[in-house]
Structure 1
Amino acid sequence: MRKLTIGFLVAMGISASDLGAEPFGIWLTETGRTGAYLHVEVAPCKGNRTLLCGYIHETFKTPHTEIVGRPIFWDLEQVSANQWVNGRVWDAENRKVYWAKVTLHKTELRVEGCLGILCDGQSWKRVR
């Protein structure tokens, strides 16, 4: 049965990495207006392992090292194989909190903050 499943997936052009793609790991944010950027560790939330969180792992080109360890997004619920919604995201530049959604693409993690129907965000690249 396993050979049949793998054969079917190969025939459909689906790789094993597409099936097992997860957002977990360290991600590089886009550079902000001041030139600062972050490495964010994406992992299950510490208080509820069924939800997705992102914690600031390291800061670059900023004196604000006190934010290391702080959640940058939290409590996102998985609604499909590659999308999480209904959480919150903290904008490190303006220090405000918005509704969040995260979408995993092949080579990036799209992290968006929303105010009503208006959303904006960043596309992060995987570090590891």
Structure 2
Amino acid sequence: MRIRGLLVATVLCASLGTAAFADPILGTWQVEPDHKGQIGLVVIRRCGEAFCGRVMEVFDRAGTSVVTRSMGRDLFWDLKANGNGQYSGGQVWVPLHDRVYDAKARLKGDRLIVRGCIGPVCDGQTWNRVD
């Protein structure tokens, strides 16, 4: 009986620890409209010790769900938390150019500034939290 109680307590502490240490970057984000006016939803999740962001859904200007080549693909991967809402060290795929760049991001409340860089030259978007 005592071992069973210890096991239950261990499982509860482990599950509470995971929730307590959930990173604020995790969740669903709406990206800026692309050159066609399409808006994507990206889900950011843990990938090992880093973060990945996958395109889960895309909508056209009228709000209709559409299928694109980026759906189901990771837009970025290997992004690592540096503290104070700063992330770096990963790679980002830019569908418009079909190229991969060095990635970094900065979290400011419910906005995530995602940047792709070649050396010191960076460009990017501001994403808004959906959930």
Q: Name the TM-score, length of structure 2 as normaliser.
A: 0.74
Counterpart pick for 2:123 among 110, 117, 120: 120
Following superposition, the deviation at residue 26 of structure 1 comes to: 0.5
- Structure 2 gaps of 5+ residues are 1-20
Map 1:12-23 to 2 at 5 A.
Answer: 22-23=24-25
1:1-128, aligned counterparts within 5 Å? 22-45=24-47, 49-61=48-60, 64-128=67-131
Amino acid in structure 1 at the alignment position of 2:117: C
Deviations 1:23-51 (A, max 9, x none): 11110000011111200001111xxx210
Give, in whole Å, the separation in 2 of the partners of 1:42 and 1:91. Answer: 16
Compared CA separation, residues 32 and 66, structure 1 to 2 (3 A):
closer
Deviation at 1:77, TM superposition (A): 1.6
* Structure with greater Cα Rg: 2
Contact 1:100–1:112 under 8 Å retained in 2: yes
Cα drift, residue 20 of structure 1 = 7.2
Contact 1:52 1:84 in 2 (8 A): no
Count how many residue pairs are aligned between Structure 1 and Structure 2.
107
In structure 1, stretches of 5+ residues that fail to align are: 1-18
Distance 1:21 1:63 in 2: 30
SS across alignment from 1:65: coil
TM score, norm. by length of structure 1 = 0.76
Q: Percent identity?
A: 36
Q: Calculate the aligned-residue CA RMSD, in Å.
A: 1.9
